Amino acid sequence: MSTAYRLSVLTTALSCTVATPVLAQDTTVPAEDELAAMRSQLQTLVTRIDQLESELAETRAENAERDTVIVAQAQSAESTANSTRADELANSDGWSFKPRGRLMFDAGTLSAPETIGADDGFGNEVRRARLGASGDIPGGFGYKFELDFAGNEVEAADAYLSYGDGPLEVIVGHHNNFQSLEELTSSLHTSFIERAAFTDAFGFERRIGISASYEAGIVLAQVGAFTDNFADTGTNNRGVDGRLVISPNTENTQLHFGGSLHYNDLGEEDAAAVRYRQRPLVHFTSTRFVDTDTLAANSEFGAGLEAAIISGRLHAVAEGYWQNVDLPLADDNLTFFGGYAEVGYFLTKGDSRGYKGGKFDRTKPVDPVGKGGIGSVQLNLRYDHLDLSDAGIIGGIQNGYLASLVWKPTDYTLISLNYGRMDYENAVLPTQGDETDYGVDAFGVRAQVDF
């Protein structure tokens, strides 16, 4: 209780007690008794004020304690909500179940010289239509299983059991081996609707195997042993893969430096068939202008280098990959090469490309649609090179000059516009005049959603 309030109470009390003898002048009360009565009344008032102040202080303390408990409960509830998304089911025993999926629809055009018989013009397809689930199992274990229904076929994507202990993760099952930053980045988070040409040309894919990843500070080391994919379990392929990533970062800049080695024993006594080829940017065409045709090979050995930087709205990335093929009937092995260099910039303020675990991750718009913003808008430019000619094998050279505009209205929706100019040398589809050096234009748009 404030001092001013106490003085006002005392003043009022004094006024009342002083006025009492005036109104009672006719009484015969001695002055000493009146003063004693006044003092007694004042003392009673002071005592009562002190009592009220004490009760008020106790009440305030109780209210503060109650508010503290309420705030703590609210924070605990918020933390639980953040750690367990609304679409994830979990129990106290450590089990969890999270449905997951993605849908990508592509459409566009391909324009090529009319005389080569290429499958050009308008095209469209459901590029990916995946459904699955992931979650935790008590004891540090986890699982992930996804099926892809695109193309009127059902194929397994990720299908594995994992175990994590601090910086170590072990995976057993059908999953990506460690070939290239571009390949390991989810198709949900790539800059273009299709990955760099060499990733498909050299047959990068998920395979059945066991792998281990160890991440501590800025160092990520990955190693694995693999057979083949679910559709080709009858082959004798046996491969090993290793990748090392150094990813230093400052407050505003993320760096990435990596390298990888790969060996695949095709396991056939007389050699197995391999083939390297690639589409012109868009996937909805079956035409390939670069193609080695079928080769008899004993083994494959690959080596890749990768580097990237993310600094605010800007990112840049470059990779190179050498694929060496051991041919049993040739004096020298074949070596093919692919690589790309890319730069991207967000036109929307505050947005930046995501990065996690040695690969690019989800971009989360600072001002998404529905919350007063337009989402994120990103412009990307890329030079993409693929050389499939060596030692008498003329598979052709593809030089791609690509641009994309990516709009993310929210974290989980995306519209991507892509254009590519492909210049070919020694293309495998000649024109009517037997020309094999020419250009092809490709345009593609993607609508994408995931959960």
Judged against a pLDDT cut of 50, whether residue 411 lies above it is answered with yes
- Domain boundaries along the sequence of the chain: 3-80, 103-128+185-198+238-450
Residue-level pLDDT at 231:
87
Residue-level pLDDT at 262:
97
168-214 pLDDT, tens digit each: 999 999 999 999 999 999 999 999 999 999 999 999 999 999 999 99
- β-partners of residue 383 are 341, 401
114-139 pLDDT, tens digit each: 878 888 999 999 999 999 999 999 99
Q: What is the DSSP string of 149-198?
A: -GGG--EEEEEEEEEEETTEEEEEEEEE-S--HHHHS-TTS-SSSS--HH
Distance between CA 406 and CA 346 in Å, rounded? 9
Average pLDDT, integer, range 328-352: 94
Query: pTM for the complete prediction?
Result: 0.80
More confident residue, 429 or 69: 429
Distance between CA 290 and CA 285 in Å, rounded? 14
Distance between CA 253 and CA 249 in Å, rounded? 6
The band of 270, judged by pLDDT with boundaries at 50, 70 and 90, is: low
Distance between CA 168 and CA 164 in Å, rounded? 6
Q: What is the CATH number of domain 103-128+185-198+238-450?
A: 2.40.160.10
Average pLDDT, integer, range 6-22: 45
Residue-level pLDDT at 31:
65
Average pLDDT, integer, range 320-338: 92
Judged against a pLDDT cut of 60, whether residue 343 lies above it is answered with yes
Residue-level pLDDT at 68:
54
Distance between CA 427 and CA 387 in Å, rounded? 11
The residue written with tokens 């070919």 in the block is 424
